[in-house]
């Protein structure tokens, strides 16, 4: 049965319902709940671009949810499903996400109603530059006020066009590069940004499995090694998450769901090989050695330990929640579980690691990129060789004092100074660990009030935003 027949709330209503559930457990000053919940503003733009011999009109949005911290931050999505409600829900999630992982930004989100696959690269560039111009002239792209990043349907390429459009209009802004994150490395991007959201999903799972009492609540046990995983969406987030879990944590990827259907294999799928197959064939169909089904969504209900929805919102809803078998769901996408489904799954004992934490790796590394752009220097550039020299001295001294030598592999590792990528991964890992621990603490202490990980995440972020508003005198 479809979600619609079950009177599913809209994505935005779903986010609001989850927010309200947490806020009802708090003692907020009068009016504060409403102030935090609503989007401050949403700008709609309709612009024309001359393409294929005619003027094509496009509709785009940039919503600012909360300016309690500035700049505000949030991706730009390219999809035909983009609409005001969706953009506002995503902007709200950005506010809560940034507050939860202590990234000093308010929440924003943008979207362009377009099917990016319908257009050639040069056409997309013209459309993107025109959209960027409309946002730049209203300071809705600005290093100090509003900093977009990639989201569904966009990536480093689009961010490069946006950065260049900004630089052309504001050529005297020395911080121009900080107007957008997720840029290619050679244009001011940072090592590890492309993989960041998927990497964050991996770090989140690693941290979860460091807490056996939490793992037990899901009905699972042990470590990540050997866990059976189903992933929906093999795009930026899903591909990196699945790849790292398979290659570095010993997980078995038993199902991959894409637009054209899904493939399953009890022995486990090679994520890199599936990705190459999707790039060459436009979908998972025909991947050798796996079973294909055109009804991709049915594989959300496949027998597995961990389900990773990494495609879009509302895929786990009132229509299928009861049949989901995964013990643990980690929301790599934004809003993949509706409020109604969340309730059903909680009753079933399924543990959900919520989106505002699970996919915060992207905005965390975007924050590092923004800081790098403002400081105009690559992380590690000053310290790396000095650190290596100090390490060398120490290792030489230990060897001289003990009369023993380290194996060459170990010696090399000990000598290494930190480069940008290792610093970014370290900062991301730290963020994911600390944020999980703060959520888990509230989860454990208030479980009797019905607090789960999602509610705990909301409680922390609402509290942090409320404190800022209180200090500002609002």
Binding segment (CB under 6 A) for ligand NAD, from list 254-262, 316-324, 379-387, 396-404: 254-262
For position 108 contacting ligand NAD by CB under 6 A, the verdict is: no
Residue 106 or 235 with smaller CB distance to ligand NAD: 235
Going by C-alpha positions, the residue among 31, 85, 96, 48 that lies closest to residue 63 is 85
Query: Strand ranges (DSSP E) for 98-138?
Result: 106-113
Radius of gyration of the chain (CA): 23
Write down the residue that tokens 């121009």 correspond to.
Answer: 176
Angle at 109 between CA 104 and CA 110, to 5 degrees: 145
Per-residue tokens: 135 = 């946002």
For position 152 contacting ligand NAD by CB under 6 A, the verdict is: yes
Residues 6+ apart with CB under 8 A from 443: 214, 451, 452, 453, 455, 456
Whether 109 is a known active-site residue: answer yes
Phi (first) and psi of residue 457, to 5 degrees: -60, -45
For position 111 contacting ligand NAD by CB under 6 A, the verdict is: no
Min dist CB 420 to ligand NAD, Å, is 18
Question: In the range 327-346, which residues lie near ligand NAD by CB under 6 A?
Answer: 332-334
Residue 83 or 387 with smaller CB distance to ligand NAD: 83
For position 192 contacting ligand NAD by CB under 6 A, the verdict is: no
For position 296 contacting ligand NAD by CB under 6 A, the verdict is: yes
Catalytically annotated residue among 73, 97, 109, 183: 109
Min dist CB 271 to ligand NAD, Å, is 12
Question: Parallel, antiparallel, or unpaired for β 328-330 and 351-353?
Answer: parallel
Going by C-alpha positions, the residue among 335, 330, 367 that lies closest to residue 98 is 367
Question: In the range 257-286, which residues lie near ligand NAD by CB under 6 A?
Answer: 257-259
Question: In the range 339-378, which residues lie near ligand NAD by CB under 6 A?
Answer: 359, 362
Min dist CB 150 to ligand NAD, Å, is 5
Question: In the range 408-467, which residues lie near ligand NAD by CB under 6 A?
Answer: none
Binding segment (CB under 6 A) for ligand NAD, from list 124-132, 136-144, 236-244, 398-406: 236-244
Min dist CB 259 to ligand NAD, Å, is 4
Which residue of this chain has its Cβ atom nearest to ligand NAD in the complex?
Answer: 235
Binding segment (CB under 6 A) for ligand NAD, from list 149-157, 346-354, 424-432, 453-461: 149-157
**DSSP single-letter state for residue 417:** P
Q: Which of 311, 318, 423, 457 binds ligand NAD (CB under 6 A)?
A: 311
DSSP-assigned states of every residue in 147-213: EEEE-TT--HHHHHHHHHHHHHHSTT-TTGGGGSSS--GGGT--TTSTTHHHHHHHHHHHHHTT-HH
Residue 150 or 192 with smaller CB distance to ligand NAD: 150
- Number of C-beta neighbours around residue 33 at 10 A: 18
DSSP-assigned states of every residue in 305-321: SEEEE-S-TTSB-TTTG
How many Å apart are CA 199 and CA 223, to the nearest integer?
17
Min dist CB 370 to ligand NAD, Å, is 14
**Cβ-contact 287, 218 below 8 angstroms:** no
Phi (first) and psi of residue 208, to 5 degrees: -55, -45
Min dist CB 410 to ligand NAD, Å, is 35
Min dist CB 460 to ligand NAD, Å, is 18
Min dist CB 45 to ligand NAD, Å, is 21
Q: How many residues bind ligand NAD (CB under 6 A)?
A: 24
261 CB-side CA count, 13 A: 13
Binding segment (CB under 6 A) for ligand NAD, from list 133-141, 150-158, 204-212, 454-462: 150-158
For position 237 contacting ligand NAD by CB under 6 A, the verdict is: yes
For position 63 contacting ligand NAD by CB under 6 A, the verdict is: no
255 - beta bridge partners?
230, 264
**DSSP single-letter state for residue 38:** S
By annotation, the residues acting in catalysis are 109
- Please give the residue ranges that form the binding site for ligand NAD (CB under 6 A): 150-153, 197, 232-238, 257-259, 296, 310-312, 332-334, 359, 362
């Amino acid at each position: 049965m479809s979600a619609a027949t079950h009177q599913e709330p809209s994505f935005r209503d779903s986010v609001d319902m989850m927010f309200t559930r947490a806020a009802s457990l708090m003692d907020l000053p009068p009016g504060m709940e409403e102030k935090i919940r609503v989007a401050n503003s949403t700008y709609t733009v309709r612009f024309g671009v001359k393409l294929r011999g005619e003027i094509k009109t496009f509709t785009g949005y940039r919503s600012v949810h909360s300016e309690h911290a500035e700049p505000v931050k949030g991706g730009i999505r390219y999809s035909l499903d983009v609409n005001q409600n969706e953009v506002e829900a995503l902007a709200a999630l950005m506010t809560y996400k940034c507050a939860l992982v202590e990234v000093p930004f308010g929440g924003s989100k943008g979207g362009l109603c377009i099917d990016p696959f319908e257009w050639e690269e040069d056409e997309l560039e013209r459309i993107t530059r025109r959209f960027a111009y409309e946002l730049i002239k209203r300071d809705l792209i600005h290093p100090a006020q509003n900093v977009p990043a990639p989201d569904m349907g966009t990536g480093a390429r689009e961010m490069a066009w946006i950065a260049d459009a900004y630089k052309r209009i504001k050529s005297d802004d020395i911080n121009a590069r900080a107007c957008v994150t997720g840029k290619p490395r050679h244009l001011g991007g940072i090592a590890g940004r492309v993989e960041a959201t998927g990497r964050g999903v991996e770090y989140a799972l690693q941290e979860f499995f460091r807490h056996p009492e939490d793992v037990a609540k899901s009905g699972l046990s042990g470590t990540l090694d050997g866990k059976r995983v189903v992933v929906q969406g093999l795009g930026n987030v899903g591909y990196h998450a699945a790849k790292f879990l398979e290659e570095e944590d010993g997980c078995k990827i038993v199902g991959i769901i894409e637009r054209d259907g899904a493939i399953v294999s009890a022995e486990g799928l090679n994520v890199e090989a599936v990705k190459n197959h999707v790039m060459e064939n436009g979908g998972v169909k025909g991947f050798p050695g796996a079973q294909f089904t055109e009804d991709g969504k049915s594989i959300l209900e496949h027998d597995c330990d961990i389900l990773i929805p990494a495609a879009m919102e509302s895929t786990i809803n009132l229509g299928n929640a009861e049949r989901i078998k995964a013990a643990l769901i980690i929301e790599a996408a934004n809003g993949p579980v509706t409020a109604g489904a969340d309730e059903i799954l909680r009753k079933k004992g399924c543990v959900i690691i919520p989106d505002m934490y699970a996919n915060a790796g992207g905005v965390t590394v975007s924050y590092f990129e923004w800081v790098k752009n403002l400081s105009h220097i690559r992380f590690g550039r000053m310290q790396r060789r000095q650190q290596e020299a100090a390490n060398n001295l120490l290792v030489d001294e230990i060897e001289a004092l003990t009369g023993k030598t380290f194996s060459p592999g170990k010696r090399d590792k000990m000598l290494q100074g930190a480069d940008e990528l290792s610093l970014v991964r370290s900062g991301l890992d730290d963020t994911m660990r600390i944020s999980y621990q703060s959520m888990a603490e509230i989860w454990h202490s208030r479980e009797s009030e019905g607090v789960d990980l999602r509610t705990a995440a909301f409680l922390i972020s609402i509290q942090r935003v409320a404190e800022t508003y209180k200090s500002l005198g609002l």
